[in-house]
Amino acid sequence: MDRYRFLSPLSRASGLGSAKAGFTHWWAERITAIALVPLTVWFAASLIAHSGSDYQAFIAWAGAPVTTVLMILLLLGLFWHMALGLQVVIEDYVHGEAKLWALLAMRFLCVGLPIVGILAALSIAFGKSAPL
Amino acid sequence: MVKTDALIIESSDQVPRRTLFKRFPIPRNFGVSPGSSVERGRNWPAPANATRIKAFDIYRYDPDQKKNPRLDTFEVDLDDCGPMVLDALIWIKSRVDPTLTFRRSCREGVCGSCAMNIDGGNWLACTRFIEETQTPARIYPLANMRIIKDLVPDLTHVFAQYEMVEPWLQSKTAAPERERLQAPEDRAALDGYYECILCFCCTSGCPSHWWNGDRFLGPAALLQAWRWLTDSRDEAAGDRLDKLEDPFRLYRCHTILNCTRTCPKGLNPGKAIAEIKKLVAKRHG
Amino acid sequence: MDRISSTRPRPLSPNIQIYRPQLTSVLSIANRITGVALSVCAIGLVGWLVAAARGPRAYSWFQGVIGAWPVQILLLIATFAFFLHLCGGIRHLVWDSVRGFELRQIYSSGWAVVAASVLLTLATWFLSLTIGRVV
Ligand code: SF4
Ligand code: SF4
Ligand code: FES
């Protein structure tokens, strides 16, 4: 509960002033969205094409250089877009100190998970027994 | 006829005849603080001789009683009453309960005083036909506002947000001897924006303003911001954009477009905000 | 917490509790819910890649999990969520270029997004089931 404070209406409305930011976030959300349109459609189409195929056939596809590059791009775009989007969702609904923790946890996931995914994609590509 | 069965709404005055949900499927007092939850009020029956009767559920709040807001049901004699929702409110005030409190002035949709939530959408009571309302008609004050009494919201904060966009012509160039000239095309750029009557139907209907209204300026103020940004005679575009470019003030708008759906003047705050975002993008690259 | 401040604490009039659901707000919240759901799917995607990288046994275990019918139903929902978010996202990109803001366009594009998502979901599942059976 906030203590009631006697502030003038204008002081309440102006708060801490403009952060003079927000454009970069908004713009990156759009850029990643545009990148994700072909990448996700490619991914969905590949999944359809490989439904029911066995491990060998699947690895042959997943280990191909084109697949690896596209997969890494997909992971980067996806988790970047996801971090931007979830940030807005958290800022909208979570207030107070919980907001900081929620943002922190979300960002760790959005940095960590794509790294794991990229390592997995690379180890499929280079046929190493996976480090994971 | 503005009541429609069409799936495609073409203008903001259209009311769907049928809706799957009258309200979002959440508990009635979901997330409502104890002092704000609405309780069942009393019934006010129609006069004995009335034949065409219509019920109105109306939000009541009396600051002099230490009680929660309540929902009263009034029966209105339609044969004794004008055609608009505002007429019904006036009829109730003069025939049934003189304490019913609401704002009105022009009764023709130009002053913006009588904005309220009618059947779940914000609109002007003076330009909504009783015929177009559900039975019982549901009359609440503008959504998400601090309530002074009954249907009278405290607009202090939203007017302060309006003040923040400095809605006046700013120019460093010395005033000319005669009027400031403006090409007809430049004047036309103001059409659809200068007509705003500051009823705040849009801001009150914007979910983003519900959750972050302390920091997000809301569609009404942002439409006015665009009205000055796009005025060829104004010289403060850069300063205006500086003050707007903020993750909350401007970018909390998620293009939900409840604002455009509800504007009783048929204006397009959602589009105005998209124009501002485009302008910010333009000066970044 | 006092979300909007005024000069005196007063009751807050209801907002989402009374506001009529409209295509505008419903599709917006749908875009958001699908976004969050797809974030969960993204975690699954990484798990799937890791399983594939670890070898045939881990991979076939993962495929087994995916093949279970409750997971299949979740996947069907996820497919719909994906297409709704994709089509809704494209609608947003068009808006960001300040196009399509007339109410008529807002409503037609909204219903188009819903229809396209349903059709694309059905097409995806039809294709993947038929291809899966052929191979
Ligand atoms: S378009 Fe923006 S301002 Fe309008 S209702 Fe939506 S979030 Fe609010
Ligand atoms: S834009 Fe429309 S709804 Fe919003 S304050 Fe102005 S007239 Fe009212
Ligand atoms: S009384 Fe003036 S707008 Fe309704």
The reply to whether ligand 2 has any atom less than 6 angstroms from the CB of B206 is no
Q: Which two tokens stand for residue B203?
A: 């801001």
Q: Please give the class, per CATH, of domain C24-134.
A: mainly alpha
The closest-lying atom of ligand 1 relative to the alpha carbon of residue B258 is 5
Q: Which chains touch A (3 or more CB pairs under 8 A)?
A: B, C
Q: Which amino acid is at A20?
A: K
The pLDDT of residue A74 = 98
Domain containing residue B61: 34-153
Q: Does residue B228 share a domain with residue B146?
A: no
Q: Which chains touch B (3 or more CB pairs under 8 A)?
A: A, C
With 70 as the cut, is the pLDDT of residue A130 above it? Answer: no
The pLDDT of residue B6 = 85
The pLDDT of residue C5 = 44
- A91 contacts B247? CB cut-off 8 A: yes
- Res. C4 pLDDT band, cuts 50 70 90: very low
Task: Give CA–CA dist B45/A102, Å, rounded.
Answer: 52
Q: Does residue B133 share a domain with residue B206?
A: no
The reply to whether ligand 1 has any atom less than 6 angstroms from the CB of B153 is no
pTM for the full predicted model: 0.93
- A26 contacts B251? CB cut-off 8 A: yes
φ/ψ of B84, rounded to 5, equals -95, 165
With 60 as the cut, is the pLDDT of residue A1 above it? Answer: no
Mind listing the pLDDT tens digit of every residue in chain B (285 residues)? 478 888 899 999 999 887 778 889 888 888 888 889 999 999 999 999 999 999 999 999 999 988 999 999 999 999 999 999 999 999 999 999 999 999 999 999 999 999 999 999 999 999 999 999 999 999 999 999 999 999 999 999 999 999 999 999 999 999 999 999 999 999 999 999 999 999 999 999 999 999 999 999 999 999 999 999 999 999 999 999 999 999 999 999 999 999 999 999 999 999 999 999 999 999 998
ipTM: 0.91
Q: What share of chain C is helix, strand, coil (3-state, %, to 5)?
A: 75, 0, 20
The reply to whether ligand 1 has any atom less than 6 angstroms from the CB of B139 is no
Q: Ligand 2 centre from B266 Cα, in Å?
A: 8
Ligand 1 pocket mutation, candidates B158, B223, B256, criterion most atoms within 8 A of CB? B256
- Res. C6 pLDDT band, cuts 50 70 90: very low
Is residue B215 one of the residues assigned to a domain?
A: yes
Q: Which amino acid is at B187?
A: R
CATH number of the domain that residue B77 is part of: 3.10.20.30
Which residue, of B111, B129, B153, is where some domain finishes?
B153
What residue segments make up the domains of chain C, in order of their start? 24-134
- Taking CA atoms, A30 is separated from A23, A77, B251, C74, C97, in Å, by 11, 11, 13, 28, 11
Is residue B254 one of the residues assigned to a domain?
A: yes
pLDDT: which is higher, A132 or B249: B249
The pLDDT of residue A4 = 67
Closest CA to B260 of C78, C95, C40: C95
Q: Note whether A47 and C40 are within 8 A (CB).
A: no
- B284 contacts A27? CB cut-off 8 A: yes
Domains and CATH numbers, chain A: 22-125 (1.20.1300.10)
> Is cis: bond before B136, omega within 30 of 0?
yes
Residue A19 pairs in a beta bridge with: none
pLDDT: which is higher, C2 or A77: A77
Q: Does residue B83 share a domain with residue B142?
A: yes
Task: Give CA–CA dist B263/A48, Å, rounded.
Answer: 45
Taking one residue from A and the other from C, the number of pairs with CB-CB distance under 8 angstroms is 99
pLDDT: which is higher, A35 or C64: A35
Is residue B27 one of the residues assigned to a domain?
A: no
Q: 10 Å Cβ neighbour count for B144?
A: 24
Is residue B241 one of the residues assigned to a domain?
A: yes
Q: Which two tokens stand for residue A7?
A: 């502030």
Burial class (CB in 10 A: 0-12, 13-18, 19+), B71: middle
Residues written for chain A: 132
* pLDDT above 70: percentage of residues in chain A: 93
- B120 contacts C7? CB cut-off 8 A: no
- B214 contacts A22? CB cut-off 8 A: no
Of A42-56, A103-117, C46-60, C70-84, the poorest mean pLDDT is in A42-56
Count: domains in chain B: 2
Residue C66 pairs in a beta bridge with: none
Q: Note whether B228 and B240 are within 8 A (CB).
A: yes
With 50 as the cut, is the pLDDT of residue C59 above it? Answer: yes
Return the SS3 of B70: strand
Return left, alpha or beta for C98; rule: phi > 0 is left, psi -120 to 50 is alpha, else beta: left
Considering only CB atoms, which chain C residues are within 8 Å of B35? 9, 11
- Res. A2 pLDDT band, cuts 50 70 90: low
Q: What is the mean pLDDT of residues A101-126?
A: 96
Q: Which two tokens stand for residue B63?
A: 């600051």
CATH number of the domain that residue B242 is part of: 1.10.1060.10
The pLDDT of residue A53 = 80
